[in-house]
C-alpha cells in the first residue's frame, strides 16, 4: 500500500527505531510513547484492520504476540507485566489503518481504559 504510513516504515522509506524484525513481522518504538516501553508490532503485509483478517492470517497474529513477548522480555518487563492492545476502527482510537499491536510497559496502567 503506497499511501500507508506503516508500509512505508516496512519499506524503510520512513525511519523508525526498530526493536524486532523477522520474515513476517517488525516492531518499532511508538513516536508518541505513552509508557517507558511503547512498541508497535506490525505485520509486514498490509492488513487495514482486525475486520480484514482472514483465516490464513491466524499464524501471523500469533507471531505478532510472540514478538510482543520477546520485546517485553528483552526490555525487562516480563515479570512486572505489560499491556498489549490492538485498536479496531475509529471509535476504538485506531488512527493508522495497518494493524498494529501496542506493547506498553514500565508504569502502572489503569483499567478500564478510557
Ligand atoms: P492507533 O491510534 O492507530 O492505535 O495507534 C497508532 C500509533 O502510531 C500511535 O500511538 C502513534 O503515536 C503512532 N505513530 C503515528 N505515526 C507514527 C510514525 O510516523 N512513527 C512511529 N514510530 N509511530 C507513529
Ligand atoms: Zn500498510
Q: Please tell me the CATH superfamily of domain 5-105, with its number.
A: HIT-like (3.30.428.10)
Closest ligand 1 atom to residue 16 Cα is 22
Q: Determine the residue of 6, 19, 32, 97 to mutate for testing ligand 1's pocket, defined as the one with the most ligand atoms within 8 A of the Cβ atom.
A: 32
Pocket of ligand 1 (CB under 6 A): 5, 14, 16, 28-32, 40, 87, 93-96
What are the domain boundaries of the chain? 5-105
What does the pLDDT look like over 90-100, one tens digit per residue? Answer: 999 999 999 99
pLDDT interval class at 65 (50, 70, 90): very high
pLDDT interval class at 54 (50, 70, 90): very high
Report whether pLDDT(75) > 90.
Answer: yes
Q: What is the pTM of this model?
A: 0.98
| Side-chain-facing half-sphere of 65: CA atoms under 13 Å | 7
Report whether pLDDT(114) > 90.
Answer: no
Amino acid at each position: 500500500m503506497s499511501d500507508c504510513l506503516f508500509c512505508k516504515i516496512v519499506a524503510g522509506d520512513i525511519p523508525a527505531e526498530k526493536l524486532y524484525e523477522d520474515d513476517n513481522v517488525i516492531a518499532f518504538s511508538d513516536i508518541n510513547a505513552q509508557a517507558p516501553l511503547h512498541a508497535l508490532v506490525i505485520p509486514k503485509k498490509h492488513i487495514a484492520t482486525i475486520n480484514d483478517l482472514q483465516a490464513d492470517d491466524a499464524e501471523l497474529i500469533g507471531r505478532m504476540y510472540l514478538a510482543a513477548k520477546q520485546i517485553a522480555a528483552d526490555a525487562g518487563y516480563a515479570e512486572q507485566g505489560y499491556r498489549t492492545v490492538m485498536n479496531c476502527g475509529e471509535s476504538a482510537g485506531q488512527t493508522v489503518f495497518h494493524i498494529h499491536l501496542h506493547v506498553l510497559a514500565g508504569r502502572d496502567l489503569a483499567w478500564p481504559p478510557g
